[in-house]
Amino acid sequence: MQKWWRRACNFGNRWVYFKMFAAYSALLGLTLVWGLTFPLVQMSLKEVSPTLFLSLRFAIASATLFLISGRRVIPLSGRDLWKGLVIGFFLWGGYIGQTLGLQFTSASRSGFLTGTLVPLTPLFAFLLFGERFSLRLWMAVLIAFSGIFIMSRPSLGGLNFGDGLTLACAASFALQVVYINRWSRADNLLSLAWLQLALSTALSACAMPLEIVRFHFSYLMAGTLLTTAILASALGIWAQVKYQPRLPAAATAVIYAMEPVFAGVAAWLMLAERPPAPTLIGAALILCGMILSSVKVEPKRNDL
């Protein structure tokens, strides 16, 4: 009886380890997909205007998530509806800034500048809601913005318009994360996710008259659209909801910190972008700040 019990316990431990390995693999694969999308989107924007691209992307993503999850994406209450719309606005703000910025800056710089959302997230949580903000996080923010300062040196062309849009996108993404942490519950995660995608579809469509709409079909553009819509957005959100709770917060943050690294490697392989040494130093500092800020912060819940 004791031998059987030990075997059962050992099997249980193996199952726990397997589930953690699956979670690590899924989130790392998702981060790889996110990194690959930077050069792919930049190349695709030669064929399609940004707002049209985002409209199609989020429409496909919201439809895919609805097909995967069914009625579970329907908001449970008017309060959840309002929360989802607020978070969705910040999600859309992040993606519109990032996509527009890719027209004016390199894919590798965009990846690392977007990564500043990691140290910005606890900073905004402190400024908006007074959540604890340790010395370690202050150091992380300082290191990350030291990297931005190095990358903005005049000898490197300074921060261009695309870089500014990308930094704004990082701030919007950080606000999205802050409000998800405060408002999400186990029973409304999919609803909030789907509402974000649906609202982003509507806002992108509303913004289309503000620019000259371009669309020229190519296999690269179509493949990028499906990759960003289905893998990066719909299945990406589903993977986060399913696998992220299995891992410590610090571990997931370090995994997500690999996104700009993958973006830089992908830009080097696909676009032959070879950044100068100061840019690499600044990018390394941003990455260090992202990893250093990967600490668990227990958010205060707000029922409003």
Residues 6+ positions from 220 with CB-CB distance below 8 Å: 40, 43, 44, 47
| 272 occurs within a structural domain | yes
Average pLDDT, the chain: 82
Least confident of 89-98, 159-168, 260-269, 275-284: 275-284
Residue 282 near residue 157, CB atoms below 8 Å: no
Asked if the structure places residue 262 within a domain, the reply is: yes
Pair of tokens at residue 275: 């950044």
In whole angstroms, give the CA distance from residue 80 to residue 287.
Answer: 34
Residue 95 lies in a domain: yes
Count of domains for the chain: 1
Span 207-266, pLDDT tens digits: 999 898 999 999 999 999 999 999 999 988 888 777 876 776 556 666 777 788 888 888
CB atoms < 10 A from the CB of 168, how many? 18
Asked if residue 48 has pLDDT above 90, the reply is yes
Q: Tell whether 16 is covered by a domain.
A: no
Q: Tell me the range of 51-55, 102-106, 193-197 where mean pLDDT is highest.
A: 51-55
Neighbour tally for 181: CB within 10 Å: 19
Q: What is the model's pLDDT at position 297?
A: 46
Distances (CA, A) of 210 to 103, 105, 171, 204, 217: 16, 21, 23, 10, 22
| pLDDT at residue 227 in the model | 94
Q: 99 lies in a domain?
A: yes
Residue 225 amino acid letter: L
Mean pLDDT of 163-179: 91
Q: By the 8 A CB rule, do 244 and 27 touch?
A: yes
Band of the pLDDT at 301, cuts 50, 70, 90? Answer: very low
Q: Does position 8 have pLDDT exceeding 50, yes or no? A: no
Residue 152 is assigned to a structural domain of this protein: yes
Query: What is the domain range of residue 221?
Result: 33-292
Q: How far apart are CA 191 and CA 101, in angstroms?
A: 29
pLDDT band at 304; cut points 50, 70, 90: very low
Please tell me the distance from the alpha carbon of residue 82 to that of residue 71, in angstroms, as a whole number. Answer: 18
Tell me if 255 is assigned to some domain. yes
Flag whether the pTM goes above 0.85.
Answer: no
In a domain, residue 3? The reply is no
